[in-house]
Structure 1
Amino acid sequence: MSRSGHYIDPALRALLESSLTPDDNDLHLSNLVDIPVLAIHGGDDRNVPAWHSRESVSILQARGAKNATLQEDAGEDHWYSTVFCNQIVEEFLGRLLRGAARFETATGREFTLTVSEPSASGSLHGWRIESLALPGR
């Protein structure tokens, strides 16, 4: 509820906010819906709060991701030596290496490719955005 937001020209504010779009990671989560994701987070992370990962996985699941999970390790900080040494991580990586966790294709269904800077983005399901009609959209 910033008061300064009420005194800025709306066109200038829109321009400033669109310049920050590349840092709005939640806007780009739609690109991960069909990709297996295991988010690992220390429950006592003092650098990046665990709610960041909780929110990201929640958004992915709300968008229809069936293969997005969160491993939150209680009592652990931002980095810890056993981050990859547990059964959940080993099983996830094993499924990827065996090819059991397949990437779904968008054939026959809709999907979203979200980018803010087309030149800095790759493709999704063979589609690539070359330019934007409006900045940030």
Structure 2
Amino acid sequence: MMEFKMKSSMIAIIIVLSSSLAFAQDAPERFVIYSTSTPFYGKEMVVEIGHDEIIDSPICKTSDKEFPIKESDAISRALDWAKKEFDSSKQWQVDSVNLKFISIESQHCLYIIELSPKNEMQSLNVGLLMNGKLIAPVAKKK
């Protein structure tokens, strides 16, 4: 009887471990290359750009005269996102637009667009890669 319980226990442990390992393989660690955060209505909101996201975007050089996405298009995308994801009745405005260059194996760039609801003392950063992918801010994990 004792041997049966030991075998059953071992089988249960193996099943738990194998499912844990399978889950770990499905959720690889994300390697963050660039991060920026801002407080927004009492929550720390962070925009994190991962290595794979940067590598998947077009190469940009500081000497480039034009970039794959125009600044005006990036601003429009960020404003549209804010109106859709947050309170659309607020009049969102752009406080700043920064073009960030990141060198890994090659040089890439992205826009960091700082938005705020008009007449409120809050701001929110949004990232936009040169392949058009918008990186939304999320609440920072403690």
TM interval, short-chain normalised: under 0.3
Higher percent of residues as helix = 1
TM-score norm. by structure 2 comes to 0.25
Structure having the higher Rg: 2
TM-score norm. by structure 1 comes to 0.26
